[in-house]
Structure 1
Amino acid sequence: MNRPLKEAQDGPTVVKYGGNAMVDEDLRRAFARDVVELWHAGLRPVVVHGGGPQISAMLRHLGLESRFEAGLRVTTPETMDVVRMVLAGRVQRELVGHINAHGPHAVGITGEDAHTLTAVRRLAQVDGRQVDIGLVGDIVEVNPRTVRALLDQGHIPVVSPVARGEDGQVYNVNADLAASALAVSLEAARLVVLTDVEGLYGDWPRGTTVIERLTARELERLLPGLTAGMLPKMEGCLRAVRGGVGRAHVLDGRVPHVLLRSVLERHGTGTTVVPDDGSG
């Protein structure tokens, strides 16, 4: 594949990997191939993965409650133990293995490693009131040195979204928001968020017409009316573009090779968020 010279001079491409693309074996392998193709094209991919379905399944297996508020998982200390075990011990290792089936590219780290991600406790906003959702964190600091070193060595960093706080506590961080914070810190060219819908719907639930492109200001106006599942994804996109990332894409991860087609072949799928001046 021809190397896109302009793109190769830009910052890295940060990809949030989650949803159905994580639980369907064919989609997992297709995603891994796409990431390797981005690497070959010189786009320096960084993958931040979720693991919601796998965490929920393990909690059910252990007889522990699985509950969400405002799209965020309520995380007790017992739940946090499961989150760390599933994300770093299972999901990350499987993803690294799929990518490395194509060569020795991927290296797994967590947000705890080298204090890559630092978080503070986050409260959820539910019907205008703040709700304590336990050990859920919001990123307040990113130390990108380890990720940059891996990129400079020609690796594909695969990051699990758990973070340590200055209080010594370990926090469960929404993967969409972790990917957004890392993209800003790395001065990424783009943030790509894979999800289980076609993009941001303009009139949900009355209609399913996807908004193909909108500015950060337009997204900010829509944000309060979004449903819980889409809210952290679009909040992450808004934070990324406002933080200097060139553009943010929300793509349907149920479609094989959607990542490759959108980033390299520029097929106009999903929703793209651009800066207020319309660039990106």
Structure 2
Amino acid sequence: MNNKCFVMKCGGSTLAALPESFFADMRELQAEGIVPVIVHGGGPAISETLTKLGIETEFVHGLRKTNEAVLDVVEMVLSGQINKEIVRRIQLAGAKALGLSGVDGHLIEAQPVRNSDEVGLVGDVSHVNAGLIEGIVEMGYIPVIAPVGLGSDGGQRYNINADTAAGAVASHLGVEQMIVVTDVPGILQTIDGEKRVLPSVTVAEIEQMIASGDIYGGMIPKVRAAIQCIQGKVQEVVIVNGTESNVLSKVLKGQNIGTRIIR
């Protein structure tokens, strides 16, 4: 490929709140031939829609318990609403984007997670059609991917955790770096009663911090997924706050920003 790719994971609610300058930064990168491959989530919007429709939902070990009714809403919100909102915002900034879900072109193949008896139709990624993503990039578009997958027979859909999907996309593309855009400045640790961003942390140190309670709540699945991404050619995952100016360019230029998770 003539273009250099990096994978970016972002929550749907985080992306919706990002300033115009974030998308302008993306446009500049694309003009330089550095193309983000975006994998997005949308948990809060899914929960809101399920509540409006009176469909009960619960989480088991951080994963949304998913039956066919929940899956219909997941696909509608992720592939329909959030995916197109992101594409619109990128295009408004003057860049070119193409939205798709893991269902399109068998982009993401999935199999049931180990505890599927507890969580239902939640999938782990078994294959990513990297050639399809590379083709979209070669055509001059930023791929924007909603994390819904298909079983190997193409019949069953699966709800896939966005962090897990992003990690799998990064691994199959063989990119060296993945950026996780959040609403926090990185992994925080309390030092002398003050919360500070850790500039860099290893996988072993993360496990210790989860055990000690320094990393807790919604940050646990983020760092766990980041750890999963560090395989194949992926050397590091950087967790950053999307509201910081030119955050993507800064990370790609090697500036010390956010938290780098390294092997």
Using the size of structure 2 for normalisation, the TM-score is 0.87
Residue among 209, 212, 225 paired with 2:199? 212
2:259 matched to 1:271? yes
Matched residue SS, 2:124: strand
Give 1:12 deviation, angstroms.
1.2
Gaps of 5+ in 1: 1-7, 125-129, 276-280
Percent identity (aligned): 36
Equivalence for 2:158: 171
Gaps of 5+ in 2: none
CA contact (8 A) 1:19 1:195 kept: no
Partner of 1:17: 10
Partner of 2:20: 29
Structure 2 match to 1:140: 126
C-alpha deviation, 1:123, in angstroms: 4.3
Report Cα offsets for 1:165-223 as digits up to 9, x if no partner. Answer: 1252101111111111001111113100112222123359x863322112334335545
Alignment of 1:231-246 (within 5 A): 231-246=220-235
User: Distance in 2 between the 1:71 and 1:208 partners?
Assistant: 25
What SS class does the counterpart of residue 120 from structure 2 fall into?
strand
Equivalent of residue 161 in structure 1, options 147, 150, 154? 147
- Superposed CA RMSD in Å reads 2.6
SS at match of 1:33: helix
1:121 to 112, 133, 138: 112
3-state SS, counterpart of residue 242 of structure 1: coil
May I ask how many residue pairs the two structures share in their alignment? 259
1:189 aligns with 2:193: no
Is contact 2:12–2:82 with CA below 8 Å preserved after alignment?
no
Q: Using the alignment, how far apart are the partners of 2:157 and 2:227 within structure 1?
A: 26
Q: 1:33 to 1:208 in 2, by over 3 A?
A: same
Which residue in 2 is equivalent to 1:3? none
In structure 2, how many angstroms separate the alpha carbons of the residues matched to 1:120 and 1:207? Answer: 43
- 1:255–1:59: structure 2 CA closer, same or farther, 3 Å change rule? farther
Q: Which residue number corresponds to residue 188 of structure 2?
A: 201
Displacement, 1:44?
1.7
- Report the 3-state secondary structure (helix = DSSP H, G, I; strand = E; otherwise coil) of the residue aligned with 1:202: strand
Relative to structure 1, is the Cα distance of residues 61 and 256 closer, same or farther in structure 2, using a 3 angstrom cutoff? farther
Distance across 2 between alignment mates of 1:259 and 1:104: 15
